[in-house]
Amino acid sequence: MRKIRNVSLISIGCMLVAALSLQAQHKNKPLHIAQQGSFAVGGTMLREAGDFDLAQPLEASGQTYHGDHAYVFYQVPAKARSYPLVFLHGAGQSKKTWESTPDGREGFQNIFLRRRFPIYLLDQPRRGEAGKGMVESSIKPTADEQFWFTQFRIGNYPDYFPHVQFPRDSASLVQFYRQMTPNTGSFDAQVVTASVSSLFDKIGTGILVTHSQGGGPGWLTAIANSKVRAVVAYEPYSGFVFPEGEVPAAIASSGLFGALRGTAIPLADFMKLTKIPIVIYYGDNIAKEPTTVWNKDHWRSGLEMAQQWAALLNKYGGDAQVIHLPEAGILGNTHFPFSDLNNVQVADELSRWLKQKGLDK
Amino acid sequence: MRKIRNVSLISIGCMLVAALSLQAQHKNKPLHIAQQGSFAVGGTMLREAGDFDLAQPLEASGQTYHGDHAYVFYQVPAKARSYPLVFLHGAGQSKKTWESTPDGREGFQNIFLRRRFPIYLLDQPRRGEAGKGMVESSIKPTADEQFWFTQFRIGNYPDYFPHVQFPRDSASLVQFYRQMTPNTGSFDAQVVTASVSSLFDKIGTGILVTHSQGGGPGWLTAIANSKVRAVVAYEPYSGFVFPEGEVPAAIASSGLFGALRGTAIPLADFMKLTKIPIVIYYGDNIAKEPTTVWNKDHWRSGLEMAQQWAALLNKYGGDAQVIHLPEAGILGNTHFPFSDLNNVQVADELSRWLKQKGLDK
């Protein structure tokens, strides 16, 4: 017993030293940024008929409106690696998702800059600073945050899941709620895809990292643009694309979005996804079997669809992997593994994969 | 003649060397960033009556909605100066306004990081990544860009003003149009002021830099919060605040917003603005006398109001200065001097003022 206790104390000591050194590494070293800036990319334009009249400048005649572009903020660190990481947020989110975490720690933006990757953070068309969309929209404040707390698997409100990797203080939770930002036009996967593909045309070969609803446009971008060298998807749900005739049966779920269905695309398009490495991560507190606990069951259907999808890609010669983080010993993650309390561990897991695939040159 | 020509050639040579060295300085030196991140600040919250029911999670009962915060992205350079610069954008803009210019050069974000100022870039409440507002809103694509081209004094569309400091290529103009982003709730100076004031409470003493419509909330923030150590305003128009009983006569204008009026506030509030240094900059192509050229006349009324306002502040013991850039030999600026082609010169002018006021320690 005495010995075991000592060993434990030593391990705790080592963990503390490791934690402190990580903290020191992350908090104290300045970032060396060779270049940073922002721009709009993609989008379309309308021009009203007639001529612009300088004396009637509030008449639409002859005037233009540009919209449906993405907004991009980029940073290139000194001694950068070859492939940039292009980050596409999920539903209700903006590029903020990848920045500081709700409790103020470094998010994937800083973590991967420190690991010498150029980073591109997008606000997709009709979101955040890319607010000019080509469609009309109305926005209404709607009290729904306890729903999102639950849907995003922080817990079953008001309970946090035991050992969940989300801070328990109310200030962090408020930051999490405030990082949501509304659509300024309906979500359109084709519009998002077009803008992300335009970004790859501009910057060249890179790695696309998506979250949640960004997953669908992510697959479509990789099909549309061969400059997408790999895709990393955190918790995709909708938008899995299967060859015509091979769409699997819908997966029933007690989740609020009902049964999950795949989307049919031509086999030739599907085959393009077999040419690049793909990794998909899911966090914790996802049901293994159907259940009436709707949040756990919602993500069960997503995880199952991802597994079927990866299996089919691999059957066709692809290189797709689904990593359910708890099975890799990484426990307690919400729908936002990249900003959870253990996000350095989650980043380590991604770094390991990038290295394994030769994507960190 | 011969001599004069040689002197000219030498000066041109010197200018070229200076220009090249500036370019080298700005393009090649990495930025050393000690810290960077983002957060929400300020805002309010509503909670619907009743209890949240986990089985009816789409019912509003008992749920919350947080909104009317600002979004803030910050960077603190290594060996930072004491006072951060807090940047508040104008109407229809986001923090993008201070980032890369429409033609891809460095904006005030990078320029002042290189000059070792910590920078805070805001998306005001109901704009950009701070899209969750507490009011309903509708958004409609409206062809109005030739109006903005003219209103913002790039020229009288389709003509560019001679020697205007705006790039002539169409790609830059499209970037300029795409950097606009709509309100996701009506503009409310009090709401903006509350969020900016909360930011100063969080970060401590600093210098507030506003643009255009941001000017009004800028004055109100400086009244509300003594941590605002100075205000720099680029081309404010509305929102000038005068002591009750001392609001000047409205300034008639052929501009599209009509006559410009000051706003009455208690003398005690006005007096707070006499305790800090204030500088206001206006660009070129503003009328000296009333004219029917509506854009030039709109800004004439703004400039005249600013001059009356500064005179009154100084009469009450203040330290307010209005700098009409052409009179300081800085020519051709649009409504966006900080992103115009000569924005390094515009930044130099600000650096000179900050040094003179002891604000660059």
What confidence tens digit (pLDDT) does each residue in B172-199 have?
Answer: 999 999 999 999 999 999 999 999 999 9
- The candidate with the shortest Cα–Cα distance to B235, out of B220, B215, B255, is B215
Mean pLDDT of B117-139: 98
Going by C-alpha positions, the residue among A123, A3, A126 that lies closest to residue A73 is: A123
Our separate counts of H helices and E strands in chain A read: 9, 15
At residue B337, does pLDDT exceed 90? yes
Which amino acid is residue A270, in one-letter code?
A: F
pLDDT of residue B194: 98
A72: nearest CA in chain B?
Answer: B96
In the prediction, which pLDDT does A91 show?
98
CA dihedral sign, ordered A209, A104, A173, B47: negative
* Burial of A149 from C-beta contacts in 10 A (0-12 / 13-18 / 19+): buried
* pLDDT given at position B28: 65
* Cα B55 to Cα A128, A146, A150, A302, distances in angstroms: 31, 12, 11, 21
Judging by DSSP bridges, how do beta strands B241-243 and B263-265 pair with one another? Answer: parallel
Residue B20 — pLDDT band, cuts 50, 70, 90? very low
Over pLDDT 90: what percentage of chain B? 92
Place of tokens 């020509």: B5
Q: Is the pLDDT of residue A309 over 70?
A: yes
pLDDT tier, B106 (very low <50, low <70, confident <90, very high otherwise): very high
Judge whether B60 and A138 are in contact, CB under 8 Å. no
In angstroms, the CA B195 to CA B277 distance is: 22
Q: Do A37 and B110 touch (CB under 8 A)?
A: yes
d(CA B357, CA B81): 14
**Chain A residue closest to B184 (CA)?**
A139
In this prediction, residue A14 carries a pLDDT of 39
Query: Rounded to an integer, what distance in angstroms lies between the CA atom of residue A97 and that of residue B288?
Result: 48
B37: nearest CB among A52, A100, A129: A100
Chain B, 196 to 215: residues with Cβ < 8 Å from chain A are none
Work out the average pLDDT over A345-354. Answer: 98
Q: Name the CATH superfamily, with its identifier, for domain A33-356.
A: Alpha/Beta hydrolase fold, catalytic domain (3.40.50.1820)
Nearest residue to B205 via CA among B359, B34, B35, B43: B359
Coil/strand/helix, residue B40: strand
Question: Which DSSP letter does residue A251 get?
Answer: B
Looking up tokens 């503009």 gives B187
| pLDDT value of residue B12 | 42
> What pLDDT, on a 0 to 100 scale, did the predictor assign at position A15?
43
Tokens read off for B97:
């306004």
What is the per-residue pLDDT for A19? 44
Beta bridge partners of residue B236, listed in sequence order: none
Nearest chain B residue to A48, by CA: B143
- Asked if pLDDT for residue A43 goes beyond 80, the answer is yes
Q: Among residues A107, A106, A109, which one has the least CA distance to residue A85?
A: A109
Residue B69 has pLDDT above 90, yes or no: yes
The matching CATH number, chosen from 3.20.20.140, 3.30.70.270, 3.30.1280.10, 3.40.50.1820, for B35-356 is 3.40.50.1820
Asked if the C-beta of A128 comes within 8 angstroms of chain B's C-beta atoms, the answer is yes
Residue B201 pLDDT: 98
CA-CA distance, A175 to A267, in Å (whole number)? 43
Task: Quote the tokens at residue A267.
Answer: 């086999």
Closest-CA distance of chain B to residue A240, Å: 25
Classified as helix, coil or strand, B2 is helix
Which of A21 and B123 is assigned the larger pLDDT? B123
Distances (CA, A) of A132 to A32, B228, B344: 33, 33, 29
Give the residue from A179, A157, A212 showing the smallest Cα distance to B57. Answer: A157
pLDDT for the residue numbered A57: 97
Collect all residues with Cβ–Cβ distance below 8 Å to A343 and sequence separation of at least 6.
A101, A105, A107, A108, A111, A337
Cα–Cα dist A167/B113, whole Å: 32
What span, in angstroms and rounded, lies between the C-alpha atoms of B183 and B41? 18
Using CA coordinates, name the residue in chain B closest to A144.
B63
Half-sphere exposure of A221 (CA within 13 A, CB side): 35
d(CA B71, CA B91): 16
CB–CB of A256 and B30 under 8 A? no
How many other CB atoms are there within 10 angstroms of residue B162's CB atom?
8
DSSP secondary structure code for residue A239 in this structure? -
Is A181 in contact with B129 (Cβ distance < 8 A)?
yes
CB contact under 8 A, B52 and A157: yes
Mutation target for A interface from B87, B129, B176, B339: give the one with most A CBs within 10 A.
B129
Give CA separation, A326 vs A152, A165, A287, A350, B170, in Å.
Answer: 16, 12, 12, 15, 52
Of the residues B45, B48, B54, B75, the best mutation for testing chain A's interface (the one with the most A CB atoms within 10 Å of its CB) is: B54
CA B164 to chain centre: 19
Picking from B66, B145, B294, the nearest residue to A66 by CB comes out as: B145
Handedness of CA B164, B169, B170, B175 (dihedral sign): negative
For tokens 């696309």, name the residue. A208
Half-sphere exposure of residue A94: CA atoms within 13 angstroms, side-chain side: 35
Best to test chain A binding among B127, B132, B343 (most A CBs inside 10 Å): B132
A24 pLDDT band (50/70/90 cuts)? very low
Question: Do A64 and B129 make contact, defined as CB atoms within 8 angstroms?
Answer: no
B337 closest CA partner among B259, B235, B241: B235
- What's the confidence (pLDDT) of residue B27? 57
Contact indicator for B233, B279 with CB cutoff of 8 Å: yes
Contacts with B52 from chain A: Cβ below 8 Å:
146, 157-158
With CB atoms and an 8 Å threshold, state whether A104 touches B39.
yes
pLDDT of residue B23: 44
Q: Is B337 helix (H, G, I), strand (E, B) or coil?
A: helix
Q: Average pLDDT over chain B, rounded to whole?
A: 93
Per-residue pLDDT, A27: 57
Query: Is A32's Cβ below 8 Å from some Cβ in B?
Result: yes
Task: Count the Cβ atoms, other than its own, within 10 Å of residue A289.
Answer: 6
**What's the mean per-residue pLDDT of chain A?**
93
Contacts of B17 (CB under 8 A, 6+ apart): none
Q: What is the mean pLDDT of residues A26-36?
A: 85
Contact B36 A110 (CB under 8 A): yes
